[in-house]
Structure 1
Amino acid sequence: MSRPRIVVVGAGFGGLHTVRHLERRIPTGMADIALVAPHDYMLYSPLLPQVASGLLTPQSVAMSVHRLTKETRLVPGHAIGVDPASRVVIVCRPTGELAPVRYDRLVLAPGGVTRAFDIPGLAEHAYGAKTLAEAVLLRDHVLAQLELANDSRDPIEREERCRFIVVGGGYTGVETAASLMRLCEVAARRYPELRSVIRWHLVDIAPKVLPELGDRLGRKALDLLRSMGIEVKLKVSVREVTADKVVLTDGRALPCRTLIWTAGVSPSPLMETLDKPTQKGRLEVGADLRVPGLDDVFALGDAAAVPNLAHEESAYCPPTAQYASRQAATVAENVVSSILGRRLKEFRHRDMGLVVDLSGNDALARIMQMELSGLPALAVTRGYHTLSVPSTTARARILANWAIRRFTGGDTARLGFAHEGRPSSFVANEAVDYLDAQRTRREGERLLENLRERYGED
Structure 2
Amino acid sequence: MTRPRILIVGGGFAGIACARRLERVLAPGEAELALVTPLSYELYPPLLPQVAAGVLTPQSVAVSLRRSLHRTRIIPGAALGVDPEAKVCVVRLITDQEVHERYDLIVLASGSVTRSFDIPGVPEHAHGMKTLAEAVAMRDHVISQLDLADASEDPREREARLRFVVVGGGYAGTETAAYLQRLTLATARRYPRLHPQMIEWHLVDIAPRLMPELGDYLGDKALELLRRRGMNVALGVSVASAGPDSVVLTDGRRMSTHTLLWTAGVAASPLISSMEAQTVRGRLAVTPDLTVPGLDGVFALGDAAAVPDLATGGDAICPPTAQHALRQGRTAGTNVAARVRGQRPHSYRHRDLGLVVDLGGFGSVSRPLGIPLSGFPAQVVARGYHLLALPTFVARARVATNWALHAVAGDDFVRTGFLARQPATIREMEHTGGYLTPDEVRAVTTPTQHNQQAPDLSVHAPES
| Deviation >4 Å, runs of 4+ | none
Equivalent residue letter for 2:19:
V
**Coordinate RMSD, CA, aligned:** 1.4
CA offset digits 1:338-391 (Å, max 9, x no partner): 122211111111111110000111101011220000000000000000000002
**Cα distance between partner residues in 2 of 1:157 and 1:169:** 27
Q: CA deviation at 1:447?
A: 3.9
The 8 Å contact of residues 141 and 418 in structure 1, kept in 2 or not, is answered as no
Aligned to 2:207: 206
Aligned to 2:395: 394
CA offset digits 1:214-267 (Å, max 9, x no partner): 011011111111111110001111112111111111111111000000011110
**Cα distance between partner residues in 1 of 2:205 and 2:236:** 6
Q: CA deviation at 1:62?
A: 0.6
Residues 313/289 of structure 1: CA separation in 2 closer, same or farther (3 Å cut): closer
Aligned partner of residue 246 in structure 1, secondary structure? strand
5 Å matches for 1:112-191? 112-191=112-191
Identity %: 53
5 Å matches for 1:290-301? 290-301=291-302
Decide which moves more: 422-431 or 246-255: 422-431
**Cα distance between partner residues in 2 of 1:169 and 1:447:** 47
**Cα distance between partner residues in 1 of 2:120 and 2:344:** 52
Aligned residues: 453
**Cα distance between partner residues in 1 of 2:124 and 2:102:** 38
**Cα distance between partner residues in 1 of 2:426 and 2:243:** 16
Gaps of 5+ in 2: 456-464
Aligned to 2:265: 264
The 8 Å contact of residues 141 and 419 in structure 1, kept in 2 or not, is answered as no
Q: CA deviation at 1:411?
A: 2.2
| 1:242 matched to 2:210 | no
5 Å matches for 1:37-436? 37-191=37-191, 193-312=194-313, 315-420=316-421, 422-432=422-432, 433-436=434-437
**Cα distance between partner residues in 2 of 1:350 and 1:443:** 42
Aligned partner of residue 2 in structure 2, secondary structure? coil
Equivalent residue letter for 1:366:
R
Equivalent residue letter for 1:256:
T
CA offset digits 1:23-66 (Å, max 9, x no partner): 00001232110000011111100000000000000001111111
Q: CA deviation at 1:141?
A: 0.4
Q: CA deviation at 1:195?
A: 1.9
The 8 Å contact of residues 272 and 278 in structure 1, kept in 2 or not, is answered as no
Gaps of 5+ in 1: none
**Cα distance between partner residues in 2 of 1:418 and 1:345:** 46
CA offset digits 1:131-153 (Å, max 9, x no partner): 10000000000000001100112
Aligned partner of residue 420 in structure 2, secondary structure? coil
Aligned partner of residue 127 in structure 1, secondary structure? coil
Aligned partner of residue 419 in structure 1, secondary structure? coil
Aligned to 2:460: none
**Cα distance between partner residues in 2 of 1:262 and 1:273:** 26
**Cα distance between partner residues in 2 of 1:424 and 1:122:** 12
**Cα distance between partner residues in 2 of 1:358 and 1:238:** 24
State TM-score, norm by structure 1: 0.96
**Cα distance between partner residues in 2 of 1:313 and 1:204:** 29
The 8 Å contact of residues 217 and 364 in structure 1, kept in 2 or not, is answered as yes
The 8 Å contact of residues 79 and 92 in structure 1, kept in 2 or not, is answered as yes
**Cα distance between partner residues in 2 of 1:196 and 1:379:** 30
The 8 Å contact of residues 354 and 369 in structure 2, kept in 1 or not, is answered as yes
Decide which moves more: 17-26 or 438-447: 438-447
Aligned partner of residue 412 in structure 2, secondary structure? coil
**Cα distance between partner residues in 1 of 2:391 and 2:336:** 22
Aligned to 2:461: none
**Cα distance between partner residues in 1 of 2:275 and 2:125:** 33
State TM-score, norm by structure 2: 0.95
